[in-house]
Amino acid sequence: MKILITGATGLIGTELVALLLQNGVTIHYLTTSKKKIESQPNYHGFYWNPNQGIIDENALMGVDSIIHLAGATISKRWTSKYKQEIIESRILSSNVLFKALKDHPNSVKQIVSASAVGIYPDNLTKLYTEDETGVDESFLGKVVMKWEESVNKFKLLNIKVVKIRTGLVLSEKGGALPEMVKPIKMGIGSPFGSGKQIQSWIHIHDLVEMYFFAVKNELDGVYNAVAPNPVTNKKLTQEIASVLNKPLFMPNIPQFLMKLVLGEMHVILFSSQNVSCKKIESEGFSFKYKQLEKALKQLLV
Ligand SMILES: NC(=O)c1ccc[n+]([C@@H]2O[C@H](COP(=O)([O-])OP(=O)(O)OC[C@H]3O[C@@H](n4cnc5c(N)ncnc54)[C@H](OP(=O)(O)O)[C@@H]3O)[C@@H](O)[C@H]2O)c1
């Protein structure tokens, strides 16, 4: 099996590459950074520049599925210029892939694209399944909607389209968890706002297994990538402190303060999405990390 990955050099991509190589998959990857191009027996890098419509079409040779993870990080101050980059890095990259597939003979049968649970409207109680049609009114909701639309068009090429609506990815190597750990280790951690917002998390091990599962089982459609037991922000903060054996005594951090510090991006910390993983489980996928405590102990202890 040969898989082409975009964003292979990022947090999720690196973990996914390791899993696929262990399982005998040959990997082609597209990178925007020439210095990240490597060529090993089962791991070949190719250059692309979605902003300029550039792609090395050799990347498509013999590929069965594409896993599309590329996108500028959302964890950087949302200036109007950077917001444009967040959107364009996802949409232009989908467009470049689409054009390459349309214009060149290929054997690609499926594209599995990253997406995010931030598409679901901010709500403290509603349980979201993949059937939800509402879209959050925030910038992030709009980004995810446009991102999903940009991958839907691969259906026109008779390619199966899978969208992996990902929750808060827990990894010790990057993303949100190390940022949450820092203040708690210093004894100044506390929940955000009311702390009641629901965080639908997933251990990175389960997330990359889910990508592999989607390819092996030739899935088609939208799947939520969240563990079976979402928690409130308060519970998440408390569990991290408990696993690290640290006390929590500071008052909750008010929303206006985080807005001053982070600007519009602060919504990431306060928005609430209680998301169901029943659909992927009904396909036969089983999570290794169902409970937060087990996930955090594996990552932090
Ligand atoms: N981590 C999470 O909690 C989470 C949650 C929900 C959804 N997601 C989504 O999952 C995907 C992968 O996440 P991640 O955490 O692995 O992200 P990441 O560590 O930021 O890596 C993303 C990769 O995308 C490529 N990239 C960056 N800017 C780009 C640009 N302007 N144009 C084209 N490619 C660009 C880079 O690869 P090269 O340098 O090799 O080009 C980078 O390594 C992202 O789309 C992210 O939004 C992540």
Average pLDDT in the 101-118 region? 97
How many alpha carbons lie under 13 Å from residue 210 in its C-beta half-sphere?
A: 33
Q: In this structure, is residue 34 part of a structural domain?
A: yes
Q: What is the mean pLDDT of residues 48-66?
A: 98
130 domain-assigned:
yes
Residues paired with 26 in a beta bridge: 2
Atom of ligand 1 lying closest to residue 14 CA: 16
Which atom of ligand 1 approaches the CA of 85 most closely?
Answer: 31
Cβ–ligand 1 distance for 9 under 6 Å, the answer: yes
Q: Give domain status of residue 255, yes or no.
A: no
Amino acid 4: pLDDT: 98
Residues spanned by the domain of 159: 2-234+261-300
In the structure encoding, which two tokens stand for residue 170, read together?
């827990």
**Residue 156: exposed, middle, or buried by beta-carbon count in 10 A (0-12, 13-18, 19+)?**
exposed
Helix (H) or strand (E) holding 275: strand 274-275
Domain-embedded: residue 7: yes
Ligand 1 centre and the CA of 71: distance in Å? 4
Q: Tell me how far the alpha carbon of residue 11 lies from the centroid of ligand 1, in angstroms.
A: 7
203-233 tens-digit pLDDT? 999 999 999 999 999 999 999 999 999 999 9
d(CA 273, CA 135): 12
- C-alpha–C-alpha distance, residues 114 and 105, integer Å: 25
Residues 94-119, mean pLDDT to the nearest whole number: 98
Residue 249 maps to a domain? no
pLDDT at 41 over 90: no
Q: How far away, in angstroms, is 69 Cα from ligand 1 center?
A: 6
Token code pair at residue 61: 């040779």
Please give the mean pLDDT across all residues of the chain: 97
Q: Is residue 240 one of the residues assigned to a domain?
A: no
Rounded Cα distance, 38 and 46, in Å: 8
Q: For residue 52, tell me if it sits in a domain.
A: yes
What total number of domains does the chain contain?
A: 1
In whole angstroms, give the CA distance from residue 277 to residue 299: 22
Whether the pLDDT of residue 287 is over 90: the answer is yes
Q: Is the pTM for the entire model greater than 0.95? A: yes
Cβ partners under 8 Å of residue 173, min gap 6: 11, 14
Across the range 133-145, mean pLDDT stands at: 97
Residue 102 sits in a domain whose CATH number is: 3.40.50.720
Residue 150 maps to a domain: yes
